[in-house]
Amino acid sequence: MTKGRFPLKTTLTALLVAAFVSAAHAQSLPGGFVYLHDIEPSIIQDIRYATSNNFVGRPLAGYGAGECVVKREVGLRLKAVQQEQAAQNLSLKMFDCYRPARASLDMVRWSQNGHETAAERRYNPKIPKTELFRLGYIASRSQHSTGAALDLTLVDLNADNSGKYDPSKTYADCTAPVEARLPEGSVDMGTGYDCTDVKGHTAAPTISPDQRAWRKRLVAAMARQGFVNYAKEWWHFSLPGAGGAAYDFPIQPRRN
């Protein structure tokens, strides 16, 4: 009888150990990196490169989960920004955080694949995608891979943010009025996220006073915590000194 039960017990033990190792592996991050949700769960996350709702039209290499991963110092400073904005019924919304280096190489391959779809052109209506790297809109070596760069916007928590991306629907390009372009559930910053157009430049003169005010609010809030905006992208910020080497570990699900 004991002999008959032993293999089953051994098998169950092995399965439990394997499950524990798998869960631990899903949580493992290099030193200094954290899941933003563990630092400040109230920050909204819409990690677009983990979905098909981005300029490539599919999840990028290395994005195994829609989780914002950052250096711990970056996360703590984002928490401070969030607390300040929450007092005004606003929230940060993350579009991208740490980016595996392989994802940037995936972008390079995409730019060189020799064709552009109508959906892709929504993000770069006036610039051929082969020119995006030369013009500084995309980098083959991104600060995102250091864990110290971020793409984000603001959400008015009192507004109707129920609009969702519908892949079967045809949207206007990213420079169109907010009612016509792809919904992002955020305030109107004048263009959509990842809009490679001069209108997406932070200080673009062609946006409305209200749109300019929202951009200035975001830049000022981030600056109070030491973040610096990239002039060609109103959504992109980095924290000087917090980066260092680039990493290529994949983004895996956070264990609850």
Task: Determine if residue 144 is labeled as part of a ligand binding site.
Answer: yes
CB distance 77 to 225 below 8 Å: yes
d(CA 49, CA 59): 5
Task: Determine if residue 166 is labeled as part of a ligand binding site.
Answer: no
Task: Quote the tokens at residue 192.
Answer: 């959509």
- 3-state SS, one letter per residue, for 190-248: CCCCCCCCHHHCCCCCCCCHHHHHHHHHHHHHHHCCCCEEECCEEEEEECCCCCCCCCC
d(CA 62, CA 69): 12
Active-site residue identified among 40, 67, 184, 233: 233
The label of the residue with tokens 């089953």 reads 8
Q: 44-45 and 90-96 as β-strands: parallel, antiparallel, unpaired?
A: parallel
Task: Determine if residue 236 is labeled as part of a ligand binding site.
Answer: yes
233 an active-site residue?
yes
Pick out the residues of the known binding site: 144, 151, 236
Catalogue the active-site residues: 233
Question: Which residue ranges make up the annotated binding site for Zn(2+)?
Answer: 144, 151, 236
